[in-house]
Amino acid sequence: MAGTRKAHIVGIGESEFTRWGGIMDRSQFQVTAEAILAAVGDAGLSTDDVDGLASFSNDGNEGPLMQAALGIPDLRWSSMVWGGGGGGSCGAVAQACAAVESGQAETVVVYRGLCQGQGRRFGQAGLSRTHASFIYPFGLFAPSQMLALMVQRFFHETGIDPAAMAEVALSFRANANRNPRAIMHGRTLSREQYFAGRWIAEPFRLFDCCLESDGAAAVVITTAERARDVKSQPVEILAAAHGSGPGWSTGPLGAQNMPDSDYASTNNRRIAQELYAKAGVSPDDIDVAQIYDHFSGLILMALEDFGFCGRGESGDFVSDGHIRWDGGRLPLNTSGGQLSEAYVHGVNLINEGVRQLRGQSTSQVKDAQTCLVTGGLGVAPTSAIILGTV
């Protein structure tokens, strides 16, 4: 692969973000199309330039239908990452990279649209699925319950005080308060309010759980050669990886039978090593990160799995302010993340990573040149990318 085909992000786009049920005047498919058009427009391109579409985890906005709706002339690439919910968000980016770097497509859009008021609410018990017989009889009907077991084990093994999760929720809410796109833009959160929040599934309180929202987000990926001619500031995808550790199968969303040695993890230990090696960087080289925050406790686990602190040190890492914007060693989820901006299965986190490297964030990290973005944590498969300035 000559350097001219190295994958770059050249466009990002979003619809409005609302609480679940907030978008009822147009379909989820229409809202997703809006985000795709916004991303293509951000790059200064048109749908005539698009020849690939990628999404993940049984997306309801099918690529061939999207091709027809948007008038894309030729669809040379159409793919979807299996399973894992938002774990496939960065995996879809990895597939788009594979397409453009191998010459199977020139410009691929990665997208996700969720209008939970029109269909399934992801925070509620879903319909029966593969391996559900292994979890439903034990009362594990919703993701908060399924993942709570892993986080409880993590706290038991490390001795970290679960109260450290408060810093995650409070930091991300403060970031959202600076972001007018965020659902929680006008709503502050105090430490007292956090601890007064009702239990959802111990150790998760209300504010440890991501939002349930309506909205869509999209990313346009093309080659380095094509990126030279777009109107936006391109961002290079230094590395992308996805997959799963041995024995995870469907992970906590369907089995809870992961290996004991890897159970209290985000299923990212191999992926982290692969990413850093591909990108030629170390954890110390990462300036800012957007880590998938479906539940705050997994942020602590990810900080350790991605090497930002040692085993059992993540509680002190966040309590000492290292994840805060403006002054922290590793500012996290600077748009507010899924806890406070919007829950769009992680594509909005990719967009915020791009904004950071363009210098356009509402919580801008000074001179940011590298950004880690992860897909869903503690699921199978999962994924992550490292972005860099051009």
pLDDT of residue 1: 45
| Residue type present at position 5 | R
Q: Given phi > 0 = left and psi -120 to 50 = alpha, else beta, which region is 167?
A: alpha
Query: Is 254 domain-assigned?
Result: yes
Q: What mean pLDDT do residues 231-235 have?
A: 96
pLDDT of residue 123: 62
Residue 326 has pLDDT above 80, yes or no: yes
Helix then strand then coil, % of the chain, to nearest 5 = 40, 20, 45
pLDDT digit string, tens, across residues 56-75:
998 889 999 999 999 999 99
pLDDT digit string, tens, across residues 234-250:
999 999 999 999 999 98
Domain range enclosing 244 = 3-121+209-389
Rounded mean pLDDT of the chain?
Answer: 95
| Residue type present at position 219 | V
DSSP assigned state of 122: T
In residues, how long is the chain? Answer: 390
With cut-offs at 50, 70 and 90, classify the pLDDT of residue 119. Answer: confident
Of the candidate ranges 129-138, 173-182, 280-289, 340-349, the one whose mean pLDDT is the lowest: 129-138
Q: What mean pLDDT do residues 377-387 have?
A: 97
Q: What mean pLDDT do residues 218-236 have?
A: 97
Whole-number Cα distances in Å, 243 to 1, 39, 121? 23, 27, 26
CATH code, 362: 3.40.47.10
- Tell me: cis bond preceding 331? Omega within 30 of 0 counts: no
| Residue type present at position 98 | A
Rounded Cα gap, residues 43 and 352, in angstroms: 16
Tell me how many domains the chain contains. Answer: 1
How many C-alpha atoms does 263 have within 13 Å on its Cβ side? 18
Rounded Cα gap, residues 70 and 235, in angstroms: 25
Query: What is the token pair recorded at 98?
Result: 């594979």
Rounded Cα gap, residues 128 and 263, in angstroms: 24
Q: What mean pLDDT do residues 76-95 have?
A: 96
Rounded Cα gap, residues 212 and 206, in angstroms: 12
Query: Is 35 domain-assigned?
Result: yes
Percent of the chain's residues with pLDDT above 70: 96
DSSP per-residue string spanning 305-355: HTTSS-TT-HHHHHHTTTTSTTT-SS-B-TT-HHHHT--STTHHHHHHHHH
Rounded Cα gap, residues 136 and 139, in angstroms: 5
Residue 223 has pLDDT above 50, yes or no: yes
Q: What are the residue numbers of the active site?
A: 292, 343
Whole-number Cα distances in Å, 141 to 16, 60, 231? 30, 22, 46
Query: Is 117 domain-assigned?
Result: yes
Whole-number Cα distances in Å, 65 to 23, 55, 69? 21, 13, 6
Collapsing DSSP to helix, strand or coil, 173 comes out as helix
Residue 227 has pLDDT above 90, yes or no: yes
Whether 206 and 52 have beta carbons less than 8 Å apart is answered as no
Query: Is 87 domain-assigned?
Result: yes
Q: How many helices (H) and strands (E) does the chain have?
A: 12, 12
Rounded Cα gap, residues 52 and 348, in angstroms: 20
Residue 205 CB contacts under 8 Å (≥ 6 apart), including other chains: 165, 194, 195, 197, 198, 199
pLDDT digit string, tens, across residues 10-59:
999 999 999 999 999 999 999 999 999 999 999 999 999 999 999 999 88
pLDDT of residue 149: 96
Whether 95 and 218 have beta carbons less than 8 Å apart is answered as no
Vertex 346 angle, CA 273 and 161, to 5°? 70
Query: Is 177 domain-assigned?
Result: no
Query: Is 145 domain-assigned?
Result: no
pLDDT of residue 177: 98
pLDDT digit string, tens, across residues 259-295:
999 999 999 999 999 999 999 999 999 999 999 999 9
pLDDT of residue 313: 98
Collapsing DSSP to helix, strand or coil, 43 comes out as coil
Percent of the chain's residues with pLDDT above 90: 89
Collapsing DSSP to helix, strand or coil, 76 comes out as coil
Query: Is 262 domain-assigned?
Result: yes
pLDDT of residue 21: 93
Query: Is 163 domain-assigned?
Result: no
